[in-house]
Structure 1
């Protein structure tokens, strides 16, 4: 409690504080009361809480990335991978089982030129017999030449053969293709001059008959000098149980318009060993006329050795 001393001053224990030393603006200086604060080290509990939070964030991010990758693999990537290559199956099954390496056949007419025997000039003299002997009588419905005979196809008739290189006792039938062109099949006994070394054997004789017939019998006038040769063969065979050799090829005319009915001819020679020596067949037949080509096959199949 305070009381007045009479001089206008108050005294007592409840006197008011003296603010004369305060800041002139009358406010306390709080900045002076505050100084820099130094934080202490984080506690172990805080570290564990922070670490757990970071791991949770990282783990969540990994899960999100994994989910996105899974979705992409099942949608965008799958559609790309599943697109079919239009040529994927062009080479056949994707297994080598049962397959073998392709090795070109040098004898394949489609990839190799014909052997020289089908394209070059005759390798012999193409000698004609000095004397001409008539063939022996043939059985009804057959043609005979030397020791060979064949069955006459329907529509075929006698053909005047004249002479042919290395053949005697000639017999032949033919069928008209058009105008002056005929399919003809000749038979005869094979004769070889001693001046040329005598009979040279099945294969050599068959090649010589083939070359001579294709180049000196008048057919070359239609074939041209450079015909295309296809379907050729030169191989051993048997005729009526006897050893034989056949040489055959299709000559495609150099000028395909020289005839209206056909543009190719099948040229054939066959030499057969018989008890009385070799006999042979030479022929050219229209390749583009089915009846004629079939008749040639039937004639060869019907060949018999006769005495």
Structure 2
């Protein structure tokens, strides 16, 4: 969930963009990264046996370690993004906006994503649940595109760390309901990484104590596309809204 300055206009589907960035955002250079080998040995391979929900046991490396990639943010914003009525498009992905998701969230870029567009729902005060979609852009400096699974893992880790979830909600938040698995989006192969982060006692929020963080990468004829989101876990309207958005995803 993102903190931001209050929207400058009354939220509606036709209103000018409201919250457009997060004060939780930090530069990639401020993050200390582990070696890529850690992800391969202790993360992506090791997590598959430990994925699952329920108890707050020892968290798999995939969900707790700092990103092992550079968390590169593309330089260009692209132009394949649009919000029209109840639909939100970023890159070549589009979702239907549930009732109550009234705040435009036009970041335009996130780590490894361009043409980003999203919408938010207020949690409390200046805090919002957010869902973003856009095209995946993998920099040549980091080698060839690693595939949807590794891209989804990387976007997930970078989203958690560069949007400040760890910084604002404690150094060691526990996670439940962990998943990293194959799925489909609009009939196309995709990979989803998701976990619920339970904040430490220092959390400034009163309405919620946990956030569902999600990344989805889907293969398309126009290249890989992605969803990145963090949503209040224990507010039913927010969690249900995320489920509805994921089910509504379609390629455009």
Question: Which structure exhibits the higher relative contact order, with contacts defined as CA atoms closer than 8 Å and separated by 6 or more residues?
Answer: 2
Residue in structure 2 matched with residue 208 of structure 1 by the alignment: 154
Larger relative strand fraction: 2
Q: Give the Cα separation in 2 of the matches to 1:142 and 1:195.
A: 34
2:183–2:192 contact (8 Å) kept in structure 1: yes
Within the candidate set 41, 59, 66, 1:114 is matched to: 59
1:112, CA displacement in angstroms? 5.0
Is residue 292 from structure 1 mapped to residue 238 from structure 2 by the alignment? yes
TM norm structure 2: 0.76
Query: Does the C-alpha gap of structure 1 residues 188 and 286 become closer, same or farther in structure 2, counting only changes over 3 Å?
Result: same
Q: Secondary structure at the match of 2:109?
A: coil
Is residue 273 from structure 1 mapped to residue 219 from structure 2 by the alignment? yes
Residue in structure 1 matched with residue 68 of structure 2 by the alignment: 123
Q: Secondary structure at the match of 1:163?
A: strand
1:106, CA displacement in angstroms? 5.1
Q: Which residues of 2 match residues 174-253 of structure 1 at below 5 A? A: 174-253=120-199
Q: Give the Cα separation in 2 of the matches to 1:115 and 1:126.
A: 20
1:268, CA displacement in angstroms? 0.2
Query: Does the C-alpha gap of structure 1 residues 240 and 254 become closer, same or farther in structure 2, counting only changes over 3 Å?
Result: same
1:121–1:211 contact (8 Å) kept in structure 2: yes
Q: Give the Cα separation in 1 of the matches to 2:240 and 2:173.
A: 23
Q: Give the Cα separation in 1 of the matches to 2:192 and 2:52.
A: 18
Residue in structure 2 matched with residue 151 of structure 1 by the alignment: 96
1:139, CA displacement in angstroms? 5.1
Alignment root-mean-square deviation, CA: 1.7
Q: Give the Cα separation in 2 of the matches to 1:174 and 1:141.
A: 13
1:138–1:149 contact (8 Å) kept in structure 2: no
Is residue 172 from structure 1 mapped to residue 118 from structure 2 by the alignment? yes
Residue in structure 1 matched with residue 80 of structure 2 by the alignment: 135
Query: Does the C-alpha gap of structure 1 residues 177 and 271 become closer, same or farther in structure 2, counting only changes over 3 Å?
Result: same
TM norm structure 1: 0.63
Query: Does the C-alpha gap of structure 1 residues 160 and 111 become closer, same or farther in structure 2, counting only changes over 3 Å?
Result: closer
Q: Give the Cα separation in 2 of the matches to 1:106 and 1:252.
A: 18
1:137, CA displacement in angstroms? 3.8
Q: Give the Cα separation in 2 of the matches to 1:156 and 1:198.
A: 36
Counting matched residue pairs gives 202
1:114–1:232 contact (8 Å) kept in structure 2: no
1:254, CA displacement in angstroms? 1.4
Residue in structure 2 matched with residue 53 of structure 1 by the alignment: none
1:189, CA displacement in angstroms? 0.3
Residue in structure 2 matched with residue 18 of structure 1 by the alignment: none
- Structure 1, unmatched stretches of 5+, are 1-104
Superposed CA deviations along residues 30-88 of structure 1, whole A, max 9, x for unmatched, are xxxxxxxxxxxxxxxxxxxxxxxxxxxxxxxxxxxxxxxxxxxxxxxxxxxxxxxxxxx
